[in-house]
Amino acid sequence: MILQMNGIKKSFGDLEVLKDISMHVDSGEVVSVIGPSGSGKSTLLRCATFLETIDAGDISYMGRSAVTTNANGVATYVHHAELSQIKRYFGLVFQQFNLFPHYSVLKNIMDAPVHVQKRHKEEVRAEAMELLRKMNLENRADAYPCQLSGGQQQRVAIARALALKPEILFFDEPTSALDPELTGEVLKVIRQLAEEKMTMVVVTHEMPFARAVSNRVIFMDKGVIVEEGDPEQVFGDPTQERTIQFLRNYQR
Amino acid sequence: MSFSTMLSSMGEGMLRSCAIFILTILFSMPLGMIVMFLRRSRFTIVREITKIYIAIMRGTPLMLQLLMWYFGPYYLFGMNIRGYRFTAILLGFSMNYAAYFAEIYRGGMETIPVGQYEAAEILGYNKVQTFFKIILPQVLKAILPSVTNEIITLVKDTSLAFTLAYNEMFSIAKQIAASQTSFMPFVIAGVFYFAANYLVAFIMERIEKAFDYYK
Ligand SMILES: Nc1ncnc2c1ncn2[C@@H]1O[C@H](COP(=O)(O)OP(=O)(O)OP(=O)(O)O)[C@@H](O)[C@H]1O
Ligand SMILES: [Mg+2]
Contact call for B125 and A146, based on CB within 8 A: no
The whole-number pLDDT of residue B186 equals 86
Mean pLDDT of chain B: 90
Which whole-number Å values give the CA distances from B140 to A132, A136, B40, B120, in the listed order?
30, 33, 18, 18
Which of chain A's residues have a Cβ under 8 Å away from the Cβ of B118? 51, 94, 98
Residue A173 Cα to ligand 1 midpoint, Å, equals: 13
The ipTM is: 0.94
Query: Which one is predicted more confidently, B1 or A219?
Result: A219
Mean pLDDT of chain A: 94
Does the pLDDT of residue B210 top 70, yes or no? Answer: yes
Q: Which of A88, A98, A116 shows the shortest C-beta gap to B115?
A: A98
Distance CA(A250)–CA(A248), nearest Å, equals: 5
Q: What is the CATH number of domain B3-210?
A: 1.10.3720.10
Residue B96 Cα to ligand 1 midpoint, Å, equals: 43
For residue A5, which amino acid is it?
A: M
Tell me which residue of B199, B180, B200 sits closest to B7, measured CA to CA: B180
Grouping H, G, I as helix, E, B as strand and the rest as coil, residue B147 is helix
Give the DSSP letter string of A49-89: TTSS--SEEEEEETTEEEEEE-TT--EEEPPHHHHHHHHTT
Distance CA(B132)–CA(A133), nearest Å, equals: 30
The whole-number pLDDT of residue A248 equals 87
Name A65's bridge partners: A60
Asked if residues A159 and A134 have their Cβ atoms less than 8 Å apart, the reply is yes
Contact call for B115 and A94, based on CB within 8 A: yes
Grouping H, G, I as helix, E, B as strand and the rest as coil, residue A119 is coil
B209 touches chain A (CB under 8 A): no
Query: Which one is predicted more confidently, B166 or B146?
Result: B146
Domain ranges of chain B: 3-210
How many helices, marked H, and strands, marked E, lie in chain A?
Answer: 9, 11
B68 touches chain A (CB under 8 A): no
Which of chain B's residues have a Cβ under 8 Å away from the Cβ of A51? 118, 121-122
Q: At what angle do helices A150-162 and A180-195 cross, to 10 degrees?
A: 20
Tell me which residue of B34, B66, B39 sits closest to B50, measured CA to CA: B39
Distance CA(B155)–CA(A111), nearest Å, equals: 39
Asked which of B35-39, B60-64, B77-81, B181-185 is least confident by mean pLDDT, the reply is B77-81
Mean pLDDT of all residues in A151-173: 96
**Which residue among A32, A33, A41 is best mutated to probe the pocket of ligand 1, counting the most ligand atoms within 8 A of its Cβ?**
A41
Tell me, what DSSP letter sits at residue A100?
Answer: -
Residues whose CB is under 5 A from ligand 2 (ion)?
A 42
Residue A44 Cα to ligand 1 midpoint, Å, equals: 10
Contacts 24+ apart (CB under 8 A), B8-11: B9/B172, B9/B176, B10/B169, B10/B172, B10/B173, B10/B176, B10/B185, B10/B188, B10/B189, B10/B192
The whole-number pLDDT of residue B190 equals 87
Distance CA(A76)–CA(A69), nearest Å, equals: 6
Ligand 1 within 6 A of A38 CB? yes
Asked if residues A31 and A3 have their Cβ atoms less than 8 Å apart, the reply is no
Beta strand pairing call for A64-69 and A75-77: antiparallel
Q: At what angle do helices B169-180 and B184-210 cross, to 10 degrees?
A: 160
The whole-number pLDDT of residue B8 equals 83
Does the pLDDT of residue B67 top 60, yes or no? Answer: yes
How many helices, marked H, and strands, marked E, lie in chain B?
Answer: 9, 0
- Dihedral sign for Cα atoms in the order B93, B25, B201, B135: negative
Contact call for A116 and B134, based on CB within 8 A: no
Tell me, what DSSP letter sits at residue A97?
Answer: -
Distance from CA of B117 to the nearest CA of A (A): 9
Distance CA(B182)–CA(B74), nearest Å, equals: 37
Distance CA(B119)–CA(B135), nearest Å, equals: 11
B139 touches chain A (CB under 8 A): no
Distance CA(B11)–CA(B17), nearest Å, equals: 10
Asked if residues A44 and A8 have their Cβ atoms less than 8 Å apart, the reply is yes
Which of chain B's residues have a Cβ under 8 Å away from the Cβ of A164? 123-124
Highest mean pLDDT, choosing among A209-218, B12-21, B154-163, B177-186: A209-218
Asked which of A217-226, B40-49, B168-177 is least confident by mean pLDDT, the reply is B168-177
Mean pLDDT of all residues in B14-22: 90
The whole-number pLDDT of residue A133 equals 95
C-alpha gyration radius of chain B: 21
Contact call for A160 and B116, based on CB within 8 A: no
Contact call for B123 and A116, based on CB within 8 A: yes
Does the pLDDT of residue B2 top 80, yes or no? Answer: no
Contact call for A100 and B119, based on CB within 8 A: yes
- Mutation target among A83, A100, A148, A158 for the B interface, most CBs of B within 10 A: A100
The whole-number pLDDT of residue A252 equals 55
Q: At what angle do helices B3-39 and B184-210 cross, to 10 degrees?
A: 40
